[in-house]
Structure 1
Amino acid sequence: MSKTKLNREEQELLEAYEDGKFESDLNNTRRAYLAKAAENFSRKDKRINIRISNRDLEAL
């Protein structure tokens, strides 16, 4: 069992899913939109280099 606290809406969704009553209304258009948004959000297009002392690195 997860220790994550769920709000009322999240708990209702979880219970509906676990009871087999959850029905997704995700259509192909929305699915494509969300896939593109996720791709854009996770794109890493910048790079940085940081010099840090070994002591500070170990502390992290």
Structure 2
Amino acid sequence: MPTPVDHDESELLQAFEQGQLKSVATKSELARFKAAARATALKDRRVNIRLSSGDLSDIQIRALEEGIPYQTLIASVLHKYVTGRLTENPAPSKPATKAPVSKSGR
């Protein structure tokens, strides 16, 4: 179900549909964006990979949450990794636990 459009979005959509919006990008920026879009969309190689059932299930769930196909999510993560744009979130720290003390005092 599509997300409802708020007042500001409605005004932007109307302005776009009436041709009232103008691009502020330079010709060189537009060329760079087009080249990046072409390179991103170009998928000329196939790869087969084995994953654990648990990892694949988790990826599929995450892809559903993101609203994209799971193979697209995998490709996106790999692309971000090889281009150095994948950032790692630190794992939440676990509370320290004390080792159990034996009753014999050792």
TM value normalised by structure 1: 0.49
* Higher RCO (CA < 8 A, seq sep 6+): 1
Pair member with larger Rg: 2
